[in-house]
Structure formats: C-alpha cells, structure tokens
Amino acid sequence: MGLKDKLHKLKLKYQGKKMAPAFNAIHTFLYLPNETTHSGGHIRGADDLKRTMNTVIMSLIPCLIFGMFNAGYQHYLALGEIEAVSNGFFSSEFWSWDNLVIGLWQVLPLVVVSYGVGLAVEFVFAVIKGHEVEEGYLVTGMLVPLIVPVDTPLWMLAVAVIFGVVIGKEVFGGTGMNILNPALTIRAFLFFAYPTWMSGDKVWVHGAVERAGEIANGAKLDAMSGETILGGLAQGKNIVGSQDATYSIADAFLGFIPGSVGETSALLILLGGLFLVFTKIGSWRIMLSAVLGTLIMGLIFNGVTSAGWITESSKFYGLMNLEFWKHLIVGGIAFGIVFMATDPVTASQTNKGKWIYGFLIGFISILIRVFNPAYPEGVFLAILLMNVFAPTIDHYVVQGNIKKRMKRLKLKTA
C-alpha cells in the first residue's frame, strides 16, 4: 500500500470529525483530490489555487537563493575578510561556499519558522471553524523571510506571524476575504512593535548588532555598520552611483548591497515580475502604473531641489535630490511592486482601478520615503494603505461605468 492510499484511508477514517481538515490538507497538498465532477458541463483548466501559489513561489526562489549568498557576502565584507566583488554575477567572492553557509544558517530558520507557525495557525482555524485548510499562506510564508532583516530573532518573527495571520487574514474569513496583505501586516507589526530590530544601520548585516555591542563594551574590534543605501542617502551621504560612491549602480541593480533578505537584487525581482506577467499571475497594469507613480514622484522632488526650494541643509535633501530612476533600484520598492502590490486578493480588481491603485502605491511610497528619514522606506505602508482603499477605487470605477452605460441607453431611447 502506497503513501497515497494510506493517507486516503486516514482521510476516510476522520471524515466528519474535528481533525478532518488537517488530514484533507496533507492529502490535497501532496496529491490531487479524489473528488471529481459527476454531472453537468464544466470548464476544465490546469490552474487552481495551489498551482497559482506554487508559480509565485517559483518566481521567489531566485531571490531567496541570492539572498542567502548575499547574507554571507555582506557579513564577511563588513568584517574585511573579503574584497568587494568586481565582476558581478561571475565573482567567486560572492558565489562561495562560505557565503552560502552563513546564508543557510541565518535564512533557512526564518523560512522554517514562517511556514511552521503560519501553517499551524491555519490548521488551528480550519479545525475550529470546520473548513478546509486554504493554500493562501504558501506564498505569504515565503514572502515573510524575504522582507525582514537577516538577524531577526525567531521568537519575534513567530509572534509577528501569529498576529499577521490572525488579524490580517483569519478575522476577515481567510484566503480570498482579507483586505490586507498578510505578509505586509506581519512586516508592519514587526516595524511598530520592535522598531530597533527593523531600522537603523546595524540590522541588515549578520552579526553587526552583536559586534556593535562588543565595541560598546570596550572590545577592541573594528566597527561594522551594515548601513543600507536608503539610510545613507537620507543622511546626505555619497552612497550610490556617483564618483567615489560606496556602491555603484551595478551593485545596486544586481543586489550586492545590504538590505532585507530578498529585496536587494532588482535584476532578479525584474525577472520574477516578467515570469508572473508571462504566466498571467501578476498584473502588468499594477506593476507598470506603480513604476510610473514612483518615477513621477521622484521627478517632482528632483524639480523641487533643482529650483532651490529645498537646500542641502534640509534633512530631506538627500533622498529628494536622488535621481528619480534610482528609487527603483534601492530599497524594497521593486520587490513590493512586483510581489505584494499585485496580490490578486487585496489589489483592485477592475482594469482602470489597477492603474489608479498601482500609481498611488508608487507615488505614496516615494512620498513616505523622503519625508520619513528615520526609516526611509515607505512601500509596505503605501501598499497597506492602498489595500484599504482598493475596494473604494473599484466601487467608483464600476459606478462610473454604470453611469456611462445609462447615458448611452438614454441616448438610444431618446
């Protein structure tokens, strides 16, 4: 008797009982359901919720693998034990076993805790409410480790995941009913509950926090900043893209910079976005309009600094003066646009609404980024804000279409 037959027997044994959803979930996750349609005409398609979620996960895997190597690379680079990469993706300094070991040691536990705690909450709610376990957390469980600092304490992540799944999803009715992106709800909880672990110049490089503590206690060790590009730009430092800058444009685009685990490589995020568009999982309208919103807001700020309305003495000058297109390759805005703004549940559903929704995400992200120098990243707040307004946008788009049709009807009957 194979594993499938054994699981099917367990499923039949517990059918109608409290634990039935748990066994059904395991069986359905590993195999196709045994139930088939018996009557009537049905449209049959190869895609379902599980395959859709798996497609998104496939688009995230390159970012996860790159993030593991980058975690080790940034660690050893900050210690001064290796030189900065000089030949991009073909650098042996980056694609080394030592870097991967650090990445595996730090990132895999984040993935395990994210999935373990999140799915446990899903199972508990399924058993209590007597419905089947939904596949919606498959993507959320992968997104969460990619949008947090590499040294986030596991207990802290577990608390945030419980909060995000319960408050951001289950209280609204589960997958397909939530109005807030669960992964961003988790990230927002971490930011507001544990701000010192989510911001500052020490949290983005493995070991930097502990090393800073040793320095403060009098140990004779070199400083290890781990500062992000946005943090430096907010302070008016020469960080990226100019002569003698800390990082080149290529470094920022390819991802050889400090940051959250999966958000540093704009190249891999771009490829993931193209894959989602090609498979018709992600909305190209939302992605394109968000990019346009980002560029336009960046251009407005560039115009303000060029006109001399904001001087170099202002605390907002650094990010305001950043070339408008560079906003897309620094920070987490590209990752947010591609993988979270396009969430089909929490985004706008109408085509016109998607243009408005995406544009406002990009526009507001740069607005928050510039005017919040203490934590110069606004994409997750912008997306959560627009999650709330997405139904309102769709409502007015639909009402507008109804009014147009009523006018056409009156003209025809007149």
Per-residue confidence (pLDDT) for residue 173, from 0 to 100: 78
Residue 101 CA to residue 81 CA, distance in Å, equals 15
Per-residue confidence (pLDDT) for residue 31, from 0 to 100: 57
Where in the chain are the domains? 269-402
Q: Any residues with CB less than 8 A from the CB of 135 and at least 6 apart, and which?
A: 29, 49, 50, 53, 175
Unique residue bearing structure tokens 């037959």: 5
Residue 319 CA to residue 233 CA, distance in Å, equals 6
Per-residue confidence (pLDDT) for residue 1, from 0 to 100: 58
Enumerate the H helices of 266-378 as residue ranges: 266-278, 284-306, 317-320, 333-335, 351-371
The candidate with the shortest Cα–Cα distance to 335, out of 240, 251, 276, 270, is 270
Question: Containing H/E element for 404?
Answer: helix 379-413
User: How deeply is 138 buried, as exposed, middle or buried, from its count of CB atoms within 10 A (0-12, 13-18, 19+)?
Assistant: buried
pTM for the model: 0.87
* Average pLDDT for runs of 10 along the chain of length 414: 65 60 58 56 60 90 96 89 77 89 95 94 81 78 94 95 92 83 93 84 76 50 58 77 77 91 94 96 96 97 92 87 92 95 93 97 95 80 95 96 88 76
